[in-house]
Amino acid sequence: MTRSQPRRARGTVGHAYSALNLRLALALFGLVTMTILAVVAFWAGLAWLGVPCALFAVVAVVDLVVIQRRRAARRREQPGARHSLFE
C-alpha cells in the first residue's frame, strides 16, 4: 500500500517530500512534449532522436502512475483536504 507524507510534515535534506501536484503538472508537460517530439522525429526520419523521446514519454507515463497512486493515498488519509500546486 502506498502511503502519503505525514500531516504537517516538512521535507528535509535527508527525507524530502515531493509536491505531488507540481510533479503531476511537470510530468504531463514532459509527456506531451516528448510524445510530440517523438512523432515529429519519426516522421522526419530521425529515429536516433525519436527513440529517446519515446522512452522519455514512457518514463513520464510511469511517473504519472506513481503520482496518481500517491495522490489517491493522500486523499484516503486526508479526506476533503485541498492541496495547492506546491503541496
- What per-residue confidence (pLDDT) applies to 78? 75
Q: To 10 degrees, what angle do helices 20-43 and 47-77 make?
A: 160
- What per-residue confidence (pLDDT) applies to 14? 47
The single residue listed with the C-alpha cell 515531493 is 18
Task: Give the side-chain half-sphere CA count within 13 A for 17.
Answer: 16
- Which tens digit of pLDDT belongs to each residue from 64-79? 999 889 888 877 877 7
- What per-residue confidence (pLDDT) applies to 19? 80
- Inter-CA distances, 20 with 9, 62, 63, 71, 75, Å: 14, 14, 11, 7, 12
- What per-residue confidence (pLDDT) applies to 55? 98
- Which tens digit of pLDDT belongs to each residue from 7-35? 666 655 445 566 888 899 999 999 999 99
- What per-residue confidence (pLDDT) applies to 6? 61
Find the mean pLDDT for residues 51-55: 97
What ranges do the domains of the chain cover? 20-74
- What per-residue confidence (pLDDT) applies to 20? 84
